[in-house]
Amino acid sequence: MPMLAPPIPTTWRLTLPHSAAAVPIARAMVRCAMQDLRATADRTTAQLLTAELVANAVKHTRGTDPIELVVERGPEGCQVEVHDGDPTLVKGLGAPLPVEGLGAPVPAMAATGPAPATTEGGHLADGRHPAQQGEGTGTADDRTGRGCAYGRGLLLIRALSAASGCRPTPHGKAVWFTLPELRRPRRR
C-alpha cells in the first residue's frame, strides 16, 4: 500500500506578545511560515512589511489586546495578516501604487488640512523650510506622531505588495498585504 504524503499546510497562525519583542518574532516567523507553506513570494519583502504592520499594531493598540499573525498561501500568492483588538480601520491601504520604472519618484500621500503659512522666501513663519514641518516644533502633529514620517509604512506596503487592505473582524481588525508567488527556475 503506497504511503500518502501529508498535505502541504496552507495557513499559519501565531499569537504575538503586545510589546516591541513582537516585531523581531514576527519577522522570523513569517519567514519560517513561508518556508513551511512552500510559498515562493519574496521573503525579504514579506519580513519588511510584516514588521511594519506588527509595529503599528503594537504602537496603536491597547497593551492588553493580543496581536495575531496569520500567513496564508493561496492561489493569488502569499497573504500576511496582522489582527489586533482595535476596531478602528486603517486608511491609506488599497490598490498598490503604480511604479513607472526604476528610480521613478514615488507619489506622496495626500496631506490633510490647510497648508502652513509661508513667508516670501518660501519658509514657514517660524523660519523652517516646509520640508522640516514635522521637526521639533511641539505641534499637535508631533505629539501624535503624525508629522512628516506618518504614513510612510503604509506607503511601503502599498508600493511593495500586490494588494493590501484592512477589514473588520469580530474582535477588532485585520490589516493585510499579498505578495505574488515567484516562478521557480526549472531544474535540469
Which pLDDT score, from 0 to 100, does residue 75 have? 83
Please check the confidence at residue 6 and state whether its pLDDT lies above 90: no
When pLDDT is cut at 50, 70 and 90, the band that residue 134 belongs to is very low
Identify the band that residue 95 occupies on the pLDDT scale cut at 50, 70 and 90. Answer: low
pLDDT in tens, 66-85: 899 999 998 889 999 999 99
Concatenating the DSSP letter of every residue in 126-158 gives TS--GGGTTSSS--HHHHHT-STTTTHHHHHHH
Please indicate whether residue 184 or residue 62 has the higher confidence score (pLDDT): 62
pTM assigned to the model: 0.67
Residue length, the chain?
Answer: 188
d(CA 27, CA 44): 9
Note the pLDDT of residue 1.
Answer: 61
Taking 70 as the threshold, does the pLDDT of residue 107 lie above it? no
**Cα–Cα distance, 49 to 124 (Å, whole number):** 34
Of 128 and 75, which is predicted with more confidence? 75
Query: Is the domain covering 12-93+148-187 a CATH 3.10.105.10 domain?
Result: no
Query: Do the bridges between strand 11-16 and strand 77-84 make them parallel or antiparallel, or are there none, so unpaired?
Result: unpaired
Cell numbers of 5, please?
A: 504524503
Q: Does residue 62 register a pLDDT over 90?
A: no
